[in-house]
Amino acid sequence: MRVKRYILYFLILILAGAIAVSIFFAVREGGKDGGPDVAAGAAPDEEALEAVDGGEIYPDTGKEEDKQENDGPELLEDHYSSSSTEFKTYTFRCPGDWSVFEEDLGRRVVLKSPETGKSLESIMIMVEDSEGLEGGPEDMISTYMDLPQSEVIDGEIIDYTDVVIDNRPARISGYYYESGLAEKAGQAAQEDAPGETDLVTCISDSGFTYIIKYMSSGIDKETAGRQFKDFLDGFFLSGEKMGSREPDTSGSVNILILGVDSGMGREWGRSSARSDINMIVHINLETYGTTIVTIPRDLWVPIPGHGDGKINGAHAVGGPELAVETFEKFSGLEIDNYIVTDFDGFIPLIDYLGGVTVEVNEDLADGFSNCYLSKGVHHLNGEQALALCRNRHRNGDGSTQGGAWAREREAAKVIQAVYEQKTDLEKILAMPAFVNFLLRYTWSDMGFMDIIRLLPVLGNIQSSDISIRGVPSYSKMIGKASAVVHYQEETSQLFEEIKSQ
């Protein structure tokens, strides 16, 4: 089947070449000439780049009705084209049965291989305003190449490769490393199993830089390099739509985030810890709309197989799996992934990100959590941020109830602020390092493809896209337990609204 497809491509190229040559001679005889912009340093064939100024190219059939019926070049079924008018249209050939996810009409595009077997691949295309790249593409690549030498990655630098992308000279840089995510794919059992390959290249045109990033897991670096170069051979800046391939539907994702009360010298371990911080993060992967739902730790709910109890006890008696089942039953949402951390993990994570800036809307002085902050904007280190998230001895700032309700909202604000710490491009280029670091201090069911699924929206979610909502609830004594009970009708409406986002 693949051979037949290559033959088809070859015939299409022959036909396109014949048409181009015919038009070239027809235009030259008419006294017209011209050519597209070419990146500095390229040495393209002048005759091959000759084109028509001020009009579209059609095969001359001699029939006026044929010219009227055609409104552009024939679209290639296995090719995707960007649609944004902000930058020059780019087109690429889609590998096999890969999925294509698009954001901002092609400003961000992610391709991923089918989720079969132990080998996984993905390619991401990012279009950036060249003036917005501090130090230019060269500094961007230099910063990227510092990652494999860090303690977090400890990777092997791959010798760069010079390539030509649509008659523009480019260079592939990258590294080979082993990710903690490999264990989730069952690859860690074999010492000689291939790890992860991360490659990047870029070209510039008309004030924009087109960054192309390749990521694979379970594929040896030589094969990964060849497949990336094969993809680049089919990438070109056409300036007009040439592909008919429509992007796949992105959908939405729900992530359960739990902060459990283990660590800091406490006797009980992670497996028996209660979840004091509970959030469901809903992200619409097409619109970037994001809702963080805070859920009281003392919320009284059915815990499957264990009767009714406080929702924070689900993790203590059944770990993340039972916690996910409990939160799904309560909310009616399907939880795609979970991320759990404790006191020992939260502090280094915040410090790794360089701290976090948050606005505190009331004066806080709490000896229990050691949170002492005045009203205003603060840049907090990991220890200070943890104290803020643990502080439940407070009145509230008027946006919610005091006590634990105010603490949960503050924790959600910290999660939001952490997200906003870095620019989108920095997040994406540094993703392998961040994931490896994250896995040191959290436990999660997220795998390589789960991370890839989220890449298109990284950095595109702005503060205005994020809303923080709490479960409508009130305090109540149930037997001898001080618990929280939710308003059923209002809570059902909340989660129905989230489902429809």
Supply the CATH number for residue 318's domain. 3.40.630.190
Q: What is the mean pLDDT of residues 233-251?
A: 91
pLDDT for 84 equals: 95
Q: Which two tokens stand for residue 365?
A: 């002085």
Are residues 456 and 330 part of one domain?
Answer: yes
In tens, the pLDDT along 309-363 reads: 999 999 999 999 999 999 999 999 999 999 898 877 778 878 877 788 888 888 8
Q: Which two tokens stand for residue 361?
A: 């809307």
In tens, the pLDDT along 172-210 reads: 999 998 877 655 444 444 556 688 899 999 999 999 999
Q: Is residue 243 part of a domain?
A: no
Amino acid at 232: L
Report the chain's terminal Cα–Cα distance, integer Å.
Answer: 41
Are residues 434 and 461 part of one domain?
Answer: yes
Q: Is residue 377 part of a domain?
A: yes
Domain boundary among 69, 94, 109: 69
Predicted TM-score (pTM) above 0.75: no
Are residues 98 and 58 part of one domain?
Answer: no
**What 3-state class would DSSP assign to 414?**
helix
Supply the CATH number for residue 211's domain. 3.40.1000.10
pLDDT for 237 equals: 95
Are residues 317 and 371 part of one domain?
Answer: yes
**What 3-state class would DSSP assign to 164?**
strand
What beta strand segments (E) does 196-273 contain?
A: 196-205, 208-217, 235-237, 252-260
Domain boundary among 237, 268, 288: 237
Q: Is residue 354 part of a domain?
A: yes
Are residues 182 and 265 part of one domain?
Answer: no
Domain tally, the chain: 3
| Per-residue 3-state assignment (H helix, E strand, C coil) for 261-290 | CCCCCCCCCHHHCCEEEEEEEEEECCCCCE
What is the C-alpha separation between 121 and 144, in angstroms, rounded?
19
Q: Is residue 225 part of a domain?
A: yes
What is the C-alpha separation between 213 and 228, in angstroms, rounded?
9
In tens, the pLDDT along 293-309 reads: 999 989 999 999 999 99
Most confident of 92-101, 182-191, 487-496: 487-496
Most confident of 36-40, 103-107, 215-219, 332-336: 332-336
Q: Is residue 247 part of a domain?
A: no
User: Does the pLDDT value for residue 233 go beyond 50?
Assistant: yes
pLDDT for 187 equals: 44
Are residues 346 and 214 part of one domain?
Answer: no
Cα dihedral sign, 178-179-180-184: negative
Domain boundary among 186, 209, 237: 237
CA distances to 79, 166, 326, 443, 463 from 170, in Å = 22, 10, 51, 39, 36
What beta strand segments (E) does 296-421 contain?
A: 300-302, 308-310, 337-341, 356-360, 364-366, 371-373, 376-380
Are residues 424 and 342 part of one domain?
Answer: yes
Parent domain of 16: 2-69
Q: Calculate the CA dihedral of residues 476, 479, 480, 482 and round it to 10 degrees.
A: -20
Q: Is residue 430 part of a domain?
A: yes
Are residues 172 and 41 part of one domain?
Answer: no
Are residues 224 and 298 part of one domain?
Answer: no
Are residues 54 and 13 part of one domain?
Answer: yes
Are residues 399 and 324 part of one domain?
Answer: yes
Q: Is residue 246 part of a domain?
A: no
Q: Is residue 151 part of a domain?
A: yes
Are residues 229 and 264 part of one domain?
Answer: no
